[in-house]
Each structure stands twice: as C-alpha cells, then as structure tokens.
Amino acid sequence: MIHVGSKDKVLEVLNRCGKKVEDATRKAEALVGGLKDHLKFSPSISDAAMARLSQGTKMIVEGGPERVFQREFGVLAVEKLLDSFVCYISTTSGPVTGVIYISNRRIAFCSDYAIRLPSSAGGNGVAAYYKVVMEWEKISSISSSTNVLKPSERYVHMVTRDGFEFWFMGFVSYIDAFNCLNKALLNSRCNHAM
C-alpha cells in the first residue's frame, strides 16, 4: 500500500527527472542544429569533419585553446582568453573554416588550414594561415544577422571604426558566441570609459 505522501514524492521526483530530460533534449537539439548549420558552409562534409578532428587534435596536443591562442597570436599585457568558437569567416573567395578566439583585449581568427596565396610574380604562391586580429577599441559594432531565405543561417557582422566589415558564420554554438562577443565588447568599452 502506497501512502499519499509517498505518492506525492514519487510524482515530484518523476517531474524533476522529466524536466532534466527536457533540458537535455533541448540542448542536444541545439547542438545538432548548430553542427548542421556549421556543416552547411563547408564545400564538403568530409572536409568539415576532418577540420574539426584536426582542430580537436591540435587543442589536445598543445594543451587547450589558451595555449593555441598564445602560440598563434602572442599575449598582450593583462590579456585573458574568454572563450573560443569554431566558425567560418567570409572572404572574397568563399568561407574559410577556423576558430575565433575572444579575449578581454581583442578577437582573433585563425584558419584551420594554410591557404595558398597568389604570388605577384605568377608562381605557385605561398601557403599561409588566414588570420584576423582586432583589438576591441578598433571595433565599432557587432550585430546579429539572419539569412531571410534560410532563417537557420545566422551571421555575426563586425564593423571596425575605420569601416572594414567582417562576417562570421557557421557557429556550432551561435548564441553563446554572439553573447560572448557582445559582452567582451561592452566590457572593453566600460574599461576604457574609466
């Protein structure tokens, strides 16, 4: 025989478990959606998968994103890496896959692979990683943009004070990346206002 109090406790536990399952399902759906959006920008799914495996291996071998960031870009005084996100940057020759690093002093993007740059002499050219580095003081705005025809495709539009525009897309965790960028820009402005 089950007592009324026991029944209530069982229902309460089941309700809590149900909410945890709902939360986990929602997070899993968001992750799958983010991965799907990320893969859309790649010329081939196998290339994107290889890039992610390569990036993951690089992070493990080198001791995490902070060490990779320091090696690729050096470290400024009192700089702290806040987060890093896998994404693409839009270029005139198409999207380039890589990682955007967000610190309290700047943002930096580095491609996953070296890109062949044309030679002015007409030879084979030089292979180099595609890098973009901007200190927060040089950035005038960061905004979110959505493809009207494909609402799942979301972009981060960054404009510098001297009028250059950068478009980042294909984030696995778009909302987290956008919020981190905005928070870092806001904190930078607050620190400079002091």
Coil vs helix vs strand at 38: helix
Mean pLDDT across the chain: 80
For the chain, 194 residues long, give each residue's pLDDT as a single digit of tens. Answer: 555 567 777 667 666 756 665 655 555 555 455 555 655 565 666 666 666 666 666 666 666 778 888 888 888 888 999 999 989 999 988 889 899 999 999 999 999 888 887 777 666 778 888 999 999 999 999 999 988 888 878 899 999 999 999 999 988 889 999 999 999 999 988 876 65
pLDDT, residue 166, reads: 96
CB-CB neighbours of 153 under 10 Å: 16
Residues 100 and 90: beta-carbon distance below 8 Å: no
CATH at 130: 2.30.29.30
pTM of the model: 0.71
* DSSP letter for each residue of 128-165: EEEEEEEEGGGEEEEEEEE-SS-TT-EEEEEEETTS-E
Domain count across the chain:
1
Domain that holds residue 51: 4-193
